[in-house]
Amino acid sequence: MRTWIRSLRPFDALAVQTIIERTIDVREAERFIRLFHEENPSAGDPQPRLREVARDIARYGAYTHTYEELQFGARVAWRNSNRCIGRLYWRSLKVRDRRQVLSAEGVAIECVEHLREATGEGGKIRPTITVFPPDTPGLPGPRVLNEQLIRYAGYRAGSGEIIGDPRYVDFTERVRALGWRGPGGRFDVLPLVVQPGRGEPLLCNLPGDAVLEVPIVHPEYRWFEELGLRWHAVPAISNLCLEIGGLCYPCAPFNGWYMGAEIGARNLADVTRYHQLPVVAERLGLDTSTERSLWRDHALVELNVAVLHSFERAGVTMTDHHTESGRFLTHLAKEEKAGRVCPADWSWIVPPISGGVTPVFHRYYDNRVLTPAYVHHR
């Protein structure tokens, strides 16, 4: 590697820089291989694999994970997600190995297939990740530019008002510049934008059968459905890199199932998102002239009741924040019993509603950063 870099002419300095930056760290690779063998005794002695990996990195500036290493790495990256309350089932993550898929069209097709498989027949959601090619010295991996595979467009209306999800106003403008025309509704599913390693980005509309959605209704208030609220069944994060043993997989969309409060206490409730608390409070006939009536809290509870009820009614997997808090502490105890620390970020673990009545509130956590991990690189 070194000799070859020295032989380059000076004006190739930028290219050299890129090559050096993308060249992977042998020590990271070694640490991962050791971890894999430690936790998977059936894989045997790590020495031969360590030698092979060191040789490949010296020769090519990269190495290739076996399927078992990739599967383990993706699962441990979930286990290491400090912000995730839902880690009890980290071992059940289904890993779709699509490292041979290079074209933007191929990536789009596999993302659609991911959604179909993850949604499951009748809404039994399966935690799933699809892993596309990693960045290598010669070629960056593909990327999905969307934050999640399924998200709703946000449009700036003439009056300065926003129709849809305000969080995605900028993204909606970017896809508009690429030629997408949305119908202008409150819940228009955005197209995927796939940037291949080489070449132009591809815009792709998700087929309807890949996007399960749930209309939000309330178990007691008939008027609730008139609010016209809905949400998609699968949260599939697509803009985090999966980092394993020094390799970076920039395109590795993954999903779990929703905890109701993510939708009921954030997406539909935040002032900077769908901002529905004043609307719900008004229909409930609450006194919004004073904070002391706790109209926001009251409306928030009814909205969350509606979200949980609607997913249940539709047969779509969803958890509530009380159950999930209990599970998280079970997970933490299991991890400690296995001799590991369970890293966690209190400010993300504590649910955005009724924090103090869930058990995760009443303690602190070790917030150290471990790898493999899902990381923001962009």
Residues that bind ligand ARG (CB under 6 A): 86, 235, 237, 256, 258-259, 262, 267
The DSSP 8-state label assigned to residue 94 in this structure reads: E
250 Cβ partners below 8 Å, 6+ apart? 132, 134, 135, 140, 141, 142, 143, 241, 377
Measured from the CB atom, the residue of 134 and 256 that comes closer to ligand ARG is 256
What's the helix, strand, coil split of the chain in %, to 5?
Answer: 45, 15, 40
- Kindly state the smallest distance separating residue 48's Cβ from ligand ARG, in Å: 37
Active-site choice (30, 78, 84, 302): 84
d(C-alpha 73, C-alpha 65), whole Å: 9
Of the candidates 49, 79, 87, 98, the residue annotated as catalytic is 87
Q: How far is the CB of 130 from ligand ARG (least distance, A)?
A: 15
Shortest Cβ 102–ligand ARG spacing (Å):
28
Q: Cα–Cα–Cα angle for 220, 226, 230, nearest 5°?
A: 90
Q: Which is nearer to ligand ARG, 53 or 153 (CB)?
A: 153
CA 36 distance to own-chain centroid: 24
**Residue of minimal CB distance from ligand ARG?**
256
CB atoms within 10 A of CB 223: 11
- Give catalytic status of residue 313 as yes or no: no
Evaluate whether 37 touches 45 at the Cβ level (below 8 Å).
Answer: yes
Catalytic residue (one of 257, 302, 324, 342): 257
Cα dihedral: 13, 14, 18, 21 (round 10): 60
The answer to whether 53 and 30 have CB atoms below 8 angstroms apart is yes
Bridge partners, residue 213, by sequence: 232
Q: Which is nearer to ligand ARG, 192 or 202 (CB)?
A: 192
> Is 312 noted as a catalytic residue in this protein?
no
**Which among 6, 21, 8 is positioned nearest to 136, based on CA atoms?**
21
Encoding tokens for residue 84? Answer: 């995730």
- Shortest CA distance to 111 belongs to which of 150, 137, 81, 160? 150
Q: Give min distance, CB of 244 to ligand ARG, in A.
A: 20
110, 262, 302, 335: the active-site residue? 262
- Please tell me the distance from the alpha carbon of residue 96 to that of residue 53, in angstroms, as a whole number: 23
d(CA 245, CA 72): 11
Using the minimum distance from each CB to ligand ARG, give the nearer residue, 133 or 164: 164
The string of DSSP codes covering 157-201 is: -TTS-EEE-GGGHHHHHHHHHTT------TTPBPPEEEE-SSS--
Question: Which is closer to ligand ARG, CB of 195 or CB of 317?
Answer: 317
**Minimal CA–CA distance to 252: which of 82, 119, 116, 75?**
75
CB of 378 vs ligand ARG, minimal distance in Å:
17
- Is 348 in the active site? no
Min separation Cβ 99 and ligand ARG, Å: 23
204 is catalytic: no
Q: Is the Cβ of residue 258 or residue 274 nearer to ligand ARG in the bound state?
A: 258
Rounded least distance, CB 306 to ligand ARG, Å: 16
* Catalytic positions: 84, 87, 257, 262
